[in-house]
Chains A and B, each alone.
Chain A
């Protein structure tokens, strides 16, 4: 057996203890680690016996061949993409974890140090490596890696749900909630795009938040398989590689938008579908059970929050709008009046009470009475400006807040109201005519400093003046 010429020759060493000599050659060949030298292009030039023993290979099969042939495929890829560039640029690398491919087909985990030896011109001459068996260490490392990955996966899940719960809880409206769901879906699933699609009261789907990259190519109805949403199916996934004829249009749109897959996760409120979460992926992904179960969990959390939000909004609506006439309630009137006063611009409050309403109720019944109230509400709405607020104060009393108006204009509105109310009503016996006693209170910021309650009292007083004068007329306070 010859050691090739680059390896050190046996050199007598005077300094060693007599009887303890170890030649350089002996030491090289049987060093307690694998030693290997290769040319800059990766061709093996020298290998020691230790490394041959570790791999079970013959010197003649290794020397002259590429170093990469001693590596497993995974390590070859790593060697080429990361190891080589760094070694070239840096001249040295240490403690790289790779695996050798042994003669018997097994693989041997090793740690490798390598150094580039340059010639006089700074050009690489040879690459020297030292290789250590790290089976025990890497088994442990692999276990750690597996544990780390699984810990990370569950951490992702917990964090996603926690973050989402905070973000959803902080949302003040449906749109904000949808935005929070989109952003949480994008980061949790590394989705290229995500969108929240909600079913409106009109049964139409619309994108409330996020981006639907297929928007130009497909209508939402074509994209979202409503049937599957209605059947409350779990996550549906459609990829460009699919073959199902029913998804051909979606697959074509995905390809055109450079997306690989879209997942559709229903948003469900106690068995009622309210929309879907769309997630788009730019490449083929492993969308396993854990993945879709996390999508469902996020969707469920968002849907529950959305439902709570809608219930709260309904309750607020009930408190703010009169159920019979749809007009503002006293609560909303008070809020709006406070806002109008705060704006510091001139405004007017029109207060009216129906004349003859008690007679209708007593003689024609409460159903007819309710019909009269609804007609009055419609007429009031038709004579005021869009920015004015019409409300039902209680019983047969109504209020109109005319923001940013002058006393003259308020008077005109009040007269128009009185004229409109006194018109005959379809289906109501003309023997029971309905008219209105109207009172107006005008507020001018420069001249007065009144509270909302005071303004109501003044308008109410003016209304009573009309009532006392026989009704069916307008009185003004503070003109």
Chain B
């Protein structure tokens, strides 16, 4: 998929926005989750290029974004990331957008659409979780101690000597189709930013935002997703009025990489 950079305004440069696909098509915006970059959509997004205008971007701190735009106050909540999404939609003047968000970006989409639904036509939430920590009746899947262990684990990998995981920039002889240019921005994340983004991702509570969604919504729930277990997907479905819940055969938390065809098929069938 050739990416045609739009005019590089500040917003588009900040979020490394790329526009491709059918210029006359309905816009479909893909948002990556914690731990990766827009690369995570590389097997799904091209499947829509023929009839959709495909927009990909990186959150600030990830991939090819402008790290100098990182503001620890703004990006200390989902809301700051949602502001960027709204700015991208406005900058490209998109209407009737199909917003496809993976993991934390599904909640970023929920917050953006509940703040201003005017440019949204559909929300596709892949593995959403509005709250990871169990609380009273609510089952998020994790105790606070689990989250603390995860944050330690991340810091060990990002900040410790085994920081291979952080830049993760290396050639890949098995996949020559990945050119050098792509490989260098491969899920690249700034370690300090990743550390804060992990806290925003796993410590936020956005349950209250679900009820405010008026955009037609598809929830894609994987089988055996440890990060967003089935009861969480059901919770999201129950709290977004009129939403559709589809259980994927794909296992794990990253169906966009493990079962891209199934993900694309379900998105198409929802939009049909």
Binding site for B on A (CB under 8 A): 40-42, 66, 68, 72-78, 80-86, 88-99, 111, 116, 118, 122, 138, 141-142, 144-145, 148-149, 186-187, 189-194, 255, 258, 260, 281-285
CA distance A75 to B162 in the complex (A): 15
- Contact assessment for A72 and B73 in the assembled complex, using a CB-CB cutoff below 8 Å: no
- Contact assessment for B226 and A68 in the assembled complex, using a CB-CB cutoff below 8 Å: yes
- Contact assessment for B72 and A187 in the assembled complex, using a CB-CB cutoff below 8 Å: yes
- Contact assessment for B154 and A73 in the assembled complex, using a CB-CB cutoff below 8 Å: no
Kindly list chain B residues whose C-beta atoms are within 8 Å of the C-beta of A138: 156
B46 interface residue per 8 A CB criterion: no
- Selected contact of B251 from candidates A42, A85, A111, A193, CB within 8 Å: A42
- Contact assessment for A75 and B186 in the assembled complex, using a CB-CB cutoff below 8 Å: no
0/1 interface trace, chain B 239-266, chain A, CB 8 Å (1 if under): 0000000000001111001100000000
- Contact assessment for B160 and A97 in the assembled complex, using a CB-CB cutoff below 8 Å: yes
- Selected contact of A142 from candidates B115, B147, B156, B251, CB within 8 Å: B156
Kindly list chain B residues whose C-beta atoms are within 8 Å of the C-beta of A73: 142, 146, 149-150
Kindly list chain A residues whose C-beta atoms are within 8 Å of the C-beta of B155: 145, 149
Can you list 28 A-B contacts with CB-CB less than 8 angstroms, sorted by A residue number?
A41-B258, A42-B252, A74-B147, A77-B150, A78-B157, A84-B253, A85-B187, A86-B35, A86-B187, A89-B36, A89-B257, A90-B168, A90-B183, A91-B174, A95-B164, A96-B164, A111-B162, A138-B156, A142-B156, A145-B155, A145-B156, A148-B159, A190-B73, A190-B76, A192-B79, A258-B79, A283-B77, A283-B203
Q: How far is the CB of A65 from chain B (nearest CB, A)?
A: 11
B217 interface residue per 8 A CB criterion: no
CA distance A90 to B35 in the complex (A): 14
B165 interface residue per 8 A CB criterion: yes
Interface residues on chain B, size class: 35 or more
Binding site for A on B (CB under 8 A): 33-36, 39-40, 42, 72-74, 76-80, 103, 111, 115, 142, 146-157, 159-162, 164-165, 168, 170, 172, 174-175, 178, 183, 186-187, 196, 200, 202-205, 208, 224-227, 251-254, 257-258
Q: How far is the CB of B51 from chain A (nearest CB, A)?
A: 26
CA distance A94 to B165 in the complex (A): 8
- Contact assessment for B153 and A98 in the assembled complex, using a CB-CB cutoff below 8 Å: yes
- Contact assessment for B172 and A92 in the assembled complex, using a CB-CB cutoff below 8 Å: yes
Kindly list chain B residues whose C-beta atoms are within 8 Å of the C-beta of A97: 153, 156-157, 160, 162
CA distance A99 to B149 in the complex (A): 10
Kindly list chain B residues whose C-beta atoms are within 8 Å of the C-beta of A192: 73-74, 76-77, 79-80
- Contact assessment for A94 and B164 in the assembled complex, using a CB-CB cutoff below 8 Å: yes
Kindly list chain A residues whose C-beta atoms are within 8 Å of the C-beta of B252: 41-42, 80, 84
Kindly list chain A residues whose C-beta atoms are within 8 Å of the C-beta of B258: 40-41, 84, 88
CA distance A308 to B254 in the complex (A): 58
Q: Taking CB as reference atom, which chain B residue is nearest A116? A: B174
- Contact assessment for B73 and A193 in the assembled complex, using a CB-CB cutoff below 8 Å: yes
CA distance A148 to B257 in the complex (A): 35
Q: How far is the CB of B232 from chain A (nearest CB, A)?
A: 13
CA distance A443 to B73 in the complex (A): 57
Kindly list chain B residues whose C-beta atoms are within 8 Å of the C-beta of A142: 152, 156
Q: How far is the CB of B214 from chain A (nearest CB, A)?
A: 17
- Contact assessment for B152 and A145 in the assembled complex, using a CB-CB cutoff below 8 Å: yes
Kindly list chain B residues whose C-beta atoms are within 8 Å of the C-beta of A116: 174
CA distance A99 to B157 in the complex (A): 12
Kindly list chain A residues whose C-beta atoms are within 8 Å of the C-beta of B77: 192, 258, 260, 281-283
Q: Taking CB as reference atom, which chain B residue is nearest A258? A: B79
- Selected contact of B164 from candidates A75, A93, A144, CB within 8 Å: A93
- Contact assessment for A283 and B204 in the assembled complex, using a CB-CB cutoff below 8 Å: yes
- Contact assessment for A89 and B76 in the assembled complex, using a CB-CB cutoff below 8 Å: no
- Selected contact of A86 from candidates B33, B168, B205, CB within 8 Å: B168
CA distance A90 to B169 in the complex (A): 9
CA distance A260 to B73 in the complex (A): 13
Q: Taking CB as reference atom, which chain A residue is nearest B257? A: A88
Kindly list chain A residues whose C-beta atoms are within 8 Å of the C-beta of B203: 283-284
